[in-house]
Structure 1
Amino acid sequence: MKKFQPQPGFVVQAYRFALDPNATQEHALRSHCGAARAAYNWAVGWVTASWWQRRAEESYGIGEAGLTQWRPWSLPALRKAFNEAKHTDPRFAAWWEENSKEAYSTGLANASAAFGNYAKSKNGKRRGKRMGAPRFKSKRKARLACRFTTGVIRVDADGRHVTLPRLGTIRTHEPTVKLLARVRAGTARILSATVRHERGRWFVSFQAEVKRDLKRVTRPDVAVGIGLGVKNLAVMADSTGEIRTIANPGHYDRARKQLRRASRVVSRRRGPDRRTGQKPSKRWEKANAARNKVHHRVADLRADTLHKLTTAVAAEYGTVVVEDLNVAGMLRNRRLARRITDAGFGEIRRQLTYKTRQRHATRTISADRWYPSSKTCSRCGAVKAKLPLHMRTYQCDACGLVIDRDDNAALNLAALAAAATGTGVAGDQDAPAVSKPRRADQKTRTTHPRHKAEAGRAGGATLPHQRQTEARDRTQAEALTPW
């Protein structure tokens, strides 16, 4: 499937609305999502069956020419095979006509993407953590979701209903006037719709091609550096020297007392037990729903806070500099993991990236993960070799500057915008990242005047480990060159 490319001046935007389906409509929604999961499991089993068959034949000494052919996992091939099997397969023959064809296409498309990602990861063509082969989705754990790309997909004229294929007209919990007004004006065109069950209720997301006029920011010539933290959600320092601190609301910490009470009630009810087959009681389900409601409220409050923060920043500054934090590694600290998760570091960077690019045509710069923003003096540029986390005040040994640690880091990030070129220490968000070789030396280099003088007397000679690092960088760059 080709990726949709919007026309010039148009962007692809999602509009999500909560639904209020009745009992019949909710049953149909669950049936469609279950059909998508069943089609996904069928595709995984159909493709991997040829893998196991080939392995069994190889154990008998059969040559390559006599082995069973590999079954393809492209979406057209899966659709063709599924359409032939759904009439005779006992898992689908009795009920496949009850749901829209889009439900089965959703599962097949997800399976095709999963096999494609696995193949790219195995061949080293996919960034990130190595992915394993697709596995079957459990009925108990699988997320309920289904996507519609063809058929009747519209927002009704009354602004309180939506119409989807085979599901009919469903009432929305909130008005749909934002999307309806654009559709009527001809500045939006609905491409697809996805229904999903999360946080205890149903949602529908419309993917639309929207004509968006860029809005001029308030201070286009000013760059801001944003330092993220636990005590303070964000410390912002702009290129004019102004510093602002955004306190961390700590939504989860505020709700912990209520969560403890709700969890205590759940623990005193008869819950499910997979070992004995015990099913939960009605009182357990009611108590568990009350506890989940608290979790959902915390998630909604966190999302609202982050959106308000990122929207305000994107609408004010012409350049935004954020840190490339290793959030996954930071979560290994058991003393800070809960607060880091509650802050949402990765979500802040993601929202800033698309809001600056699509809404204001400004740029977001990501500082290198090893850039010593906290260790560098914002006045003279001297770098400390070590700065423990418990030291919250930065004291420069060269110029005597005394400043808050977070304020100093934010000022350094703001100053980094002037030197950003898309490569090196900092770069644009869309620029390819410069990979580092394993066991590369990431120690902070001190730039105290005394050390600079010693380096000058030494004639600028490089140390052995520095020469080894430079050689590894050159070797890796030559290996990645396409020609």
Structure 2
Amino acid sequence: MKKFQPQPGFVVQAYRFALDPNATQEHALRSHCGAARAAYNWAVGWVSASWWQRRAEESYGIPADRLTEWRPWSLPALRKEFNQTKKTDPRFAAWWNENSKEAYNTGLANASAAFDNYAKSKQGRRMGKRVGMPRFKSKRKAPLSCRFTTGTIRVEVDGRHVTLPHLGTIRVHEPTGKLLSRVQAGTARILSATVRHERGRWFASFQIEVKRDLVRVTRPDVAVGIDLGIKTLAVMADSAGEVREVSNPRHLSTALQQLRRASRIVSRRRGPDRHTGRKPSRRWEKANARRNKVHHRVADLRADALHKLTTAVTAEYGTVVVEDLNVAGMVKNRRLARHIADAGFGEIRLSSPTKPASATPPASSRPTAGSPPPRPAPGAAQ
């Protein structure tokens, strides 16, 4: 599928708003996210079934030309097969029409991308950690998310509501005036919307094509190197000879005493038990909500501080070089794991405008959607 390219003078930006849905709307949101997970699991099962069948036939000595054909995992192929199956499959027949088609498309698109990543990783054409075979998503653990690309997606003129396909008009927690003014002025266009449940709240993220003026860097000819640490979050040394230090705010360490007190209160209440089916008490739910509120505040403060730091750096320097750290390996040190996670090294590297140099595979070696990997046995790369 061809990648979207914004118009000249435009950039793609996200506007994120917290939602305040009522009980009916929250039920519909959960239903859409559940439909996306069900469609993803169906696609994983449908594609991998042919892989397992071929593996069994090979063990029986069946010739290669008589093996079961590969099932493609391209998005158009998954859509076509799912549309033919959903009306007769007992897993979908009774309720598939209760949700927007975009919910099912979300799951199918995610499954197609997961198989693509698996094939590229197995063929050695994908950077980073090796990607395993796509697995089914658990109803209990899978994050709730759904993406809308077609239908009625707009910000209402009152500045306090948004409208999404099949979900209707939902009130937002904060004003949408900044986005609304751009849309009304014709300098912004809504491309898609994604609803997601995070930190006990529902959020709607709008992908917008926005007209932006060229950002002027104050010191374009100066390069800066950033060294990350725990005691001092960042030491910045630029080519002009100036050295600056940014202290670590230690948001988690500051709230640790409050968090421990809240956790002790939760431990004294009657909590849920999956093995016996015991339901939590109302007092446990209230105490757990208070504890989660502390966690959420720490995460918000950390994200706000890191975004302000990276924004200030990119607005000042023309070239930014960030220390390349193996954060995943560093957090294995039990004495430093909490402090490293509290500093957010990985977030700083993701927010930096530059990336380490890497070899780009030639165009002739790029995989095609639906092409099988060299060894398609489902258990080979677990």
TM-score above 0.5:
yes
Q: Deviations over 1:116-135 (max 9, x none)?
A: 11111111111111111111
User: Is residue 152 of structure 2 the alignment partner of residue 226 of structure 1?
Assistant: no
Q: Deviations over 1:96-150 (max 9, x none)?
A: 1110000000001101111111111111111111111111111100100000000
Q: Deviations over 1:286-324 (max 9, x none)?
A: 222221111111000001101111112222222222211
In the alignment, which residue of structure 2 is the partner of 1:13?
Answer: 13
In the alignment, which residue of structure 2 is the partner of 1:26?
Answer: 26
Residue 71 (structure 1) shift: 1.2
Please, which runs of 5 or more residues in structure 1 have no aligned partner?
354-363, 365-428, 435-478
In the alignment, which residue of structure 1 is the partner of 2:368?
Answer: none
SS in 2 for 1:196: strand
User: Is residue 314 of structure 2 the alignment partner of residue 314 of structure 1?
Assistant: yes
Q: Deviations over 1:371-392 (max 9, x none)?
A: xxxxxxxxxxxxxxxxxxxxxx
In the alignment, which residue of structure 1 is the partner of 2:350?
Answer: 350
* Equivalences for residues 238-257 of structure 1 within 5 A: 238-257=238-257
One-letter code aligned to 2:144: L
Larger radius of gyration between Structure 1 and Structure 2:
1
Q: Distance in 2 between matches of 1:252 and 1:171?
A: 32
Q: Deviations over 1:323-350 (max 9, x none)?
A: 1122122222222111111111121122
User: Is residue 127 of structure 2 the alignment partner of residue 121 of structure 1?
Assistant: no
One-letter code aligned to 1:243: V
Q: Distance in 2 between matches of 1:135 and 1:311?
A: 37
Residue 285 (structure 1) shift: 2.3
One-letter code aligned to 1:284: W
Identity between Structure 1 and Structure 2 (%): 82
* Equivalences for residues 447-462 of structure 1 within 5 A: none
Structural RMSD (CA): 2.0
Which range is displaced more, 94-103 or 65-74? 65-74
SS in 2 for 1:14: strand
Give the TM-score of the pair, scaled to structure 2.
0.90
User: Is residue 353 of structure 2 the alignment partner of residue 432 of structure 1?
Assistant: no
Residue 212 (structure 1) shift: 1.3
In the alignment, which residue of structure 2 is the partner of 1:80?
Answer: 80
Q: Distance in 1 between matches of 2:256 and 2:208?
A: 39
SS in 2 for 1:190: strand
Q: Distance in 2 between matches of 1:31 and 1:116?
A: 27
Aligned residues: 364
Q: Distance in 2 between matches of 1:134 and 1:317?
A: 41
User: Is residue 100 of structure 2 the alignment partner of residue 104 of structure 1?
Assistant: no
Q: Distance in 1 between matches of 2:52 and 2:282?
A: 44
Residue 238 (structure 1) shift: 2.6
In the alignment, which residue of structure 1 is the partner of 2:159?
Answer: 159
* Equivalences for residues 128-167 of structure 1 within 5 A: 128-167=128-167
- Cα distance change of structure 1 residues 57 and 224 upon mapping to structure 2, 3 Å threshold: closer
Q: Distance in 1 between matches of 2:271 and 2:4?
A: 46
Residue 4 (structure 1) shift: 1.0
Please, which runs of 5 or more residues in structure 2 have no aligned partner?
366-382
Q: Distance in 1 between matches of 2:72 and 2:286?
A: 46
In the alignment, which residue of structure 1 is the partner of 2:371?
Answer: none
In the alignment, which residue of structure 1 is the partner of 2:370?
Answer: none
One-letter code aligned to 1:203: F
In the alignment, which residue of structure 2 is the partner of 1:65?
Answer: 65
Q: Deviations over 1:389-422 (max 9, x none)?
A: xxxxxxxxxxxxxxxxxxxxxxxxxxxxxxxxxx
Give the TM-score of the pair, scaled to structure 1.
0.72
